[in-house]
Structure 1
Amino acid sequence: MADLTRAALSRKDLVRALNQTADLLDVLGSDEGGFRATAYRSAARSLDRLEASSEDLQATQFAGVPKVGKGIAQELLAYLATGRFAPLDEVAEQVPEGVQGLFVVRGLGPKKVRALWDAGIDSVPRLLAAAQSGELAGIKGFGAKGAQALGEAAEFVLRSQDRFLLSSALQAAEAAQARLQAAGLTAQPGGELAGQRDTLSGAELLAGGDAAAWASALAGLEGWESIGEEGGTLVGRLAGVPLTVRPRGAAPAQAAYAPFGEPEHAGLQLPDPESLIQVKDIQGMLHTHSVWSDGTATLRAMLDETLRLGHSYLGTGDHSQAAAYAGGLAPERLREYTAEIRAMQAEGLPILAGAEVDILADGSLDYPDDLLAELDYVVASVHSNFGLSQAAQTGRLVRAASHPLVNILGHPTGRLLLRREGYAVDIDAVLEACAAHDTAAEINANPWRLDLRWQDALRWRGRVQFSINTDAHSLGGLRDLRYGVMIAQKAGLTPADVVNCLSAEDFRRWARG
C-alpha cells in the first residue's frame, strides 16, 4: 500500500496517496483530534474535483487549489519529484501490510480495521477465516449479520486477486504494442484481451520477431519490468499488469472473431464483425455528470469535449436529491439546471436535459412525475439499499423500468468489478420489464462497472434496446466509451440495438414521443 512509485503520477495518484495516509493515521490513532487526517482528506476531495493534470499542478505548485496548504503542497511536489509520498511511508511503516490490505474489503473503514487488528485479524484471508468460524461475530461492533457480509466481501476480494480491469490491461497492451511497432515489429492483442473480457489475468500480445527483439524494444519503456523468457515467450509486467508477448504461431486457436469465443456464443446466429457497433456510431453521449452535482466540469466543457471526440450531442445526467452525498439536485435546483440547458439549446447547442434519478427502496422515483416530464430523458439507477432480498430488489427495478417517464435503466446490477458483487436481482425479470415498456438497459462504460454484463445483453439482444453510456464525471471520463462498446460488441450488438446511435432529434422523439 505504501509503495506508489510510478513512472508518471496522475492527479488520481495524488488523491489516492492523501486518502491512504488519512486512513492509516486514523488506524494508528496517533493523530490527536484527527486534524492531519482531516486535512489530507479535504485536500484529496479538492484535488478530486479538479480537471487539472498533475503536470499542471506541479507547474503552478498547487497555487490556488482549495484545501491544499503550503505544507501539503510541498509534500505533494516532493511526491511528484521522487515517486514517494513521505507522510504515507511514515505511517505505513507502522501498520502491517496485511492490515493495510483490509481496506479493500467492502464495509471496512479505519475504525473497523483498527478493531480487527486489535483482535488479531491482520489480513483478508484471516478475516474470511474469522467470519466462517464465528469468531468475527463475537467481536464488539460486528455481530452475526455484519460478520456474514464481511465474510462474503472478503471472499470476493480473494477471488478477485490477480485480476485486472479491461481498461488496465488494454492500456498496458497498447503501450507495449506501440513500442514494438516503433521497432518495426507487428503486434496484436491475443488471449483474454482479444476476447474483450471485462476482467483479465493480464495482457497478451501476439508479435512478429522473437523474445530478444521484444525485450530490446520494450527496454526503457516506463513501467516495464521484464521477468524473463520462457519457451520463446517474453513475460513481464507493465504498470503492474502481467504482460506476455508470444509468437503469433504459438497462440492457442481462437474463434474467427475472438470476442465470440465464449461458451455462451456457441450455436448462436451472430452478426458479422463488420456490422457490430463501433465508437464512431455513438451520436449521443448520455448519462454524464457536471459541476451541478458531483462532476468536475461545466456543462459547456462537457459538451465541447463530446463534440471534440466526434459525437453529435450531449445528454446530461446529474444526480437527483436522494444522492445528497453526490450533490444531488433538490427540485428547485433541478429547475435551475434545466433552465441553463434550455438556454444552451436556445443558442443552438446540441445538448439534452436529463437526470440520473435515484430508484428508491420501494421502486418509486426520487422526483415527482411533473418534474420528470420537464426533462428530455431520464436515467433511473439504484444507489442505495443494496441489501434487499432478491424478490424485493427485483420488484424495485421492475417498477422503475416500467415507469412511463423512465427511458434508461442505469447500471442495472450495481456491480463494481474487483470491488463488490452486484445486488441480488433476477436480471431476466428486469430486462423483460424493459422490453415490455421500451426502456433501454444501460451498458455502463465505466471500466469499474461494465454493467449490464455482456452475457445478459447477449441473451436479450433483439428484444431489449440498450444505451452505452460513460457515466462520466470528468472530461477524461468521456473517453471510457470504448470499453462499453467493447462489451456491446461481445454481446453481438449493432447500432440498431443502441438508442444513443440515434440523432438528437430521433432520440428525443423516442424518449418523449
Structure 2
Amino acid sequence: MADVTRKDLVHALNSAADLLDVLGSDEGGFRAAAYRNAARNLDRSETSLDELRETRFAGVPKVGKGIAAELMGYLDSGRFAPLDEAAEQIPEGVQSLFAVRGLGPKKVRALWDAGIDSLPRLRGAAQSGELAAVKGFGAKGAQALGQAAQFVLDSQDRFLLSQGLLAGEGVQQALAGAGLEAQFSGDLGRLRDTLPGADLDLTGDPAAWASALAGTEGWEAGESSAETLSGRFGSVPVTLHRAAAGSPAFRPFDEPEHAGLDLPDPAELIQTHDIRGMLHTHTVWSDGVSTLREMVDSVLALGHEYLGTGDHSQSAAYAGGMTPERLREYIAEIRGLQAEGLPILAGAEVDILADGSLDYDDELLAELDYVVASVHSAFGLSQADQTERLVRAASHPLVSILGHPTGRLLLRREGYAVDIDAVLDACAAGNTAAEINANPWRLDLRWQDALRWRSRVRFSINTDAHSPRGLRDVRYGVMMAQKAGLTPADVVNCLERDAFKAWARG
C-alpha cells in the first residue's frame, strides 16, 4: 500500500484534468470536468482517508465508480493511471510550463502549438518578442511570463531549508553511530531559507565517513577526495568537508545584515519550547484534515499549552472557507470545548479583500478571540494598491495578526509587490503582530524584515498547520526568528493563553 495523502489524490485529479485539456482529446471536456469536480468534493469531504478507502469513496459527490476505481488504484500503487497516460503524450518540457505562474492548460497548449515547449524556450521567446506575437499573450503578458519563467529556472536544483535539514540530520545521525560528529556549514549552517544542498564539516578521514554512511537508508555515495565526500541523501546533494580540529561551526546570525547590530546573547534567543500557543491552524472546518479536538490533543502532546484556530473565511471557497453561518457554528463548537476545559481559542484566518476590507463584518469578527488577516487573492495589484490594502488591514482594530505578509511561496512564486516597511509601520502603530509563517514553503515574514523591525513590532510564529504533522514546522519559524534576533518577549504566542487573549482584544 502506497503512502498517498488526500492532497496527493486531489493534486492527481486536477493534474490529469489539466493534461487532458492540453491534449484536447477529451471531446467536450467532460472527463476533465469530472476529475475537477471529484477533486473539489474530495478536498472538501470531512471523511477520513481510511474511511474513504474502506468505502471505496462511496458518498463523495461526483466520485463515481470509475473515478473511485482509479483512486483506489492510486492508493494501492502510488501511481494515478489517468495522469500517467496523459503525461506519456506530452513532452516533459511542455509539462514543466505548468510551474510558471499565470499559465493554465489553454495557454500551455497555445505555447506548445507555437513551438515554445520548455522553460528556456519560454524565457527566450519572452526576451526576443516572439511570445508577444503569439495570440492571447501581448507585450505586457509576455514580460510577466518571462519573469515568471526565470523565477522557475532560478529555483531549479534548489531545496527548501526543511529538505536540507532532513538530509543533514540524517547524515549526522548515521555518522554519530560511528562516533563521528558533523556540524552544519555553508548555507545549511546559516539556515538559508533555500539552498543548493547540505554541507557538513567534520574531522578525520573521508574513507571513514564513507564507511560510516555505507548502507544508510537514503544515502547514495558520490565522489570522494582527500578532503571531501559527496553524495545524496534522498534527493538532496550532500557534501562532507574535512574541518580543522576545533574549527567553529557557523552560527545562523553570521550574515551581512547582522553586522554592527546590538543583538541579544544567543542564550536569550527564542526557542521552540518558548512557544506556548500554536496559533493559525486549520481543521476540517476548512481545508485541514483533523478535528478541533484532535488538533488540541496534538498541540498538548508536543508540549505546548494551547491551540489557536485559524480556519479560512468565506472568500476562500477553494479551501472550504466558512460562511458567516458556519463561522458561528465553528465558534459554538470551540466554546463547547472550552467549557469542557480544553485549552483552545477561537480564531479565524480572514481574507483581506482587494480594497483592504475584511471578509466578515466587524460584529462577527468581534465574536472571535483573535483574527489572522491574510491575502489570498488579487496578487497582481500595483505596489501602491497592494501596500494600501495591507496597511488598511493591519490598522483594523480587530486584526490581531497579519498573516504571511508578502505572500511568497519559496521555489514556487514570488511575493506580491508591496512596500513591506510601510506595512510593518502600520503593524507597529496598530499593535498588530506580523506573522512569521513557519511553513517551510513560506517562511514569511522574511527574517531580514523582522530583524529591521524587531524593536518596533511584535511577531507571531505560526505553523499554518493543516494537520498534526504540520505543527512540528514551528521549528523552522523559530530558526528564522533566531536569525532576526528575536527573544520570547518579541513573540505574542509566547504569552500564556489568557494574556494572549487580553493582548489580542486589548
TM-score past 0.5 threshold = yes
- Structure 1 position 76, deviation (Å): 6.2
- Summarize the Cα distance change of 1:430–1:58 in structure 2 as closer, same or farther, 3 Å threshold: closer
Match of 1:178 among 170, 173, 176: 173
Secondary structure, counterpart of 1:184 in structure 2: coil
Structure-2 separation of matches of 1:120 and 1:203: 38
1:416 aligned onto 2:417:
no
1:433-444 mapped onto 2 (5 Å cutoff)? 433-444=426-437
Match of 1:191 among 181, 186, 193: 186
Matched with 1:352 is 345
Secondary structure, counterpart of 1:367 in structure 2: coil
Cα contact 2:280–2:372 (8 A) shared by 1: yes
- Structure 1 position 184, deviation (Å): 2.9
- Structure 1 position 387, deviation (Å): 1.3
Cα contact 1:314–1:352 (8 A) shared by 2: yes
Match of 1:131 among 122, 126, 129: 126
1:1-80 mapped onto 2 (5 Å cutoff)? 16-38=11-33, 40-41=35-36, 66=60
Structure-1 separation of matches of 2:375 and 2:202: 44
Structure-2 separation of matches of 1:250 and 1:153: 45
Letter in 1 for 2:328: R
Letter in 2 for 1:321: Q
Cα contact 1:319–1:355 (8 A) shared by 2: yes
- Structure 1 position 290, deviation (Å): 1.3
Structure-1 separation of matches of 2:138 and 2:479: 42
Secondary structure, counterpart of 1:258 in structure 2: coil
Structure-2 separation of matches of 1:101 and 1:85: 18
Match of 1:166 among 161, 164, 172: 161
Q: Which moved more, 1:494-503 or 1:124-133?
A: 124-133
Cα contact 1:470–1:480 (8 A) shared by 2: yes
Match of 2:234 among 236, 239, 249: 239
Structure-2 separation of matches of 1:408 and 1:512: 11
Matched with 1:398 is 391
Matched with 2:149 is 154
Match of 2:259 among 257, 266, 271: 266
- Structure 1 position 60, deviation (Å): 5.8
Letter in 1 for 2:321: G
Structure-1 separation of matches of 2:201 and 2:82: 42
Q: Render the CA deviation track for 1:440-496: whole Å, top value 9, x for unaligned.
A: 000001111100000000001111000000111222211111111111111111101
- Summarize the Cα distance change of 1:289–1:9 in structure 2 as closer, same or farther, 3 Å threshold: closer
Letter in 2 for 1:292: W
Letter in 2 for 1:356: E
Structure-2 separation of matches of 1:407 and 1:468: 13
- Structure 1 position 145, deviation (Å): 2.9
Letter in 2 for 1:342: R
Structure-2 separation of matches of 1:244 and 1:476: 29
Structure 1 length normalisation: TM-score?
Answer: 0.90
- Summarize the Cα distance change of 1:109–1:79 in structure 2 as closer, same or farther, 3 Å threshold: same
- Structure 1 position 84, deviation (Å): 5.6
Structure-2 separation of matches of 1:455 and 1:333: 38
Structure-1 separation of matches of 2:252 and 2:134: 47
1:306 aligned onto 2:304:
no
- Structure 1 position 48, deviation (Å): 5.7
Secondary structure, counterpart of 2:239 in structure 1: strand
Structure-1 separation of matches of 2:272 and 2:427: 24
1:105-504 mapped onto 2 (5 Å cutoff)? 105-249=100-244, 258-504=251-497
Q: Render the CA deviation track for 1:71-94: whole Å, top value 9, x for unaligned.
A: 667666766776665544433332
Structure-1 separation of matches of 2:214 and 2:131: 48
- Structure 1 position 347, deviation (Å): 1.2
Cα contact 2:53–2:72 (8 A) shared by 1: no
Letter in 1 for 2:172: Q
Cα contact 1:61–1:77 (8 A) shared by 2: no
- Summarize the Cα distance change of 1:230–1:32 in structure 2 as closer, same or farther, 3 Å threshold: farther
Structure-2 separation of matches of 1:220 and 1:75: 36
Matched with 1:90 is 85
Matched with 1:3 is none
Secondary structure, counterpart of 2:436 in structure 1: strand
Q: Render the CA deviation track for 1:39-67: whole Å, top value 9, x for unaligned.
A: 5556655676789999x699969676947
Structure-2 separation of matches of 1:113 and 1:362: 32
- Structure 1 position 213, deviation (Å): 2.8
Structure-2 separation of matches of 1:431 and 1:36: 47
Q: Render the CA deviation track for 1:385-415: whole Å, top value 9, x for unaligned.
A: 1111111111111111111111111111111
Letter in 1 for 2:356: G
- Structure 1 position 379, deviation (Å): 0.8
- Structure 1 position 259, deviation (Å): 0.9
- Summarize the Cα distance change of 1:329–1:45 in structure 2 as closer, same or farther, 3 Å threshold: closer
Cα contact 1:288–1:472 (8 A) shared by 2: yes
- Structure 1 position 142, deviation (Å): 2.0
- Summarize the Cα distance change of 1:188–1:76 in structure 2 as closer, same or farther, 3 Å threshold: farther
Aligned residues: 505
What residue ranges of structure 1 are gaps of 5+ in the alignment?
1-6
Structure-1 separation of matches of 2:323 and 2:94: 40
Q: Percent identity?
A: 75
Q: CA RMSD in A?
A: 2.9
Structure-1 separation of matches of 2:55 and 2:245: 50
- Summarize the Cα distance change of 1:129–1:317 in structure 2 as closer, same or farther, 3 Å threshold: same
Cα contact 1:443–1:450 (8 A) shared by 2: yes
- Summarize the Cα distance change of 1:374–1:60 in structure 2 as closer, same or farther, 3 Å threshold: closer
